Amino acid sequence: MSDIPVIEMVHPLPGFPGERRFTLVELDEDGVLCALRSLEDPDLRFLVAPPAPFFPDYAPVVDDATVADLAITSAEEVVVLLVLTPGGSLQETTANLRAPLVLNTSTRRACQVILDDAALSVTTPLVA
């Protein structure tokens, strides 16, 4: 994911209306944990991770409006990231499965998608 220098949010993240330009910074050598850092406010960052290492069966369905907003033409150009809430340890860290970030690696456009699935939690433990 380090080949994505600037990410443009097509819709601002909830609570951050002025923040549209971010960069993805890998925090570990495996590229699992990343920081989504604002280019406008260097102090604003979100801890994110791809779902596969933690939730291998996670497969969110993205609506047609999001596909159009991000100019997605194939599944291969899509990266899904989960916003994490860090805890005191990995066991206390949670993931927001209800509202993943969807990124088009070709256009570098992204947005947070709120999924219409009440079974998905915004505070799912990252590890059991």
Look at the block and give the residue holding tokens 């219409």. 116
pLDDT of residue 52: 95
pLDDT of residue 51: 96
Q: What is the separation of C-alpha 42 from the centre of its chain, rounded to a whole number of angstroms?
A: 18
pLDDT of residue 5: 76
Look at the block and give the residue holding tokens 């990231």. 81
| Measured distance CA(35)–CA(105) in Å, rounded | 16
pTM value?
0.91
For residue 1, name the pLDDT band (cuts at 50, 70, 90).
very low
Mean pLDDT (whole number) for 5-34: 92
| Residue 123 · residue 98 · CB < 8 Å | no
As a whole number, the mean pLDDT across the chain is 92
pLDDT of residue 127: 86
Task: Report the CATH number of the 7-125 domain.
Answer: 2.30.290.10
Mean pLDDT (whole number) for 54-62: 94
pLDDT of residue 2: 45
| Measured distance CA(72)–CA(86) in Å, rounded | 30
Type of residue at 20: R
Mean pLDDT (whole number) for 27-36: 90
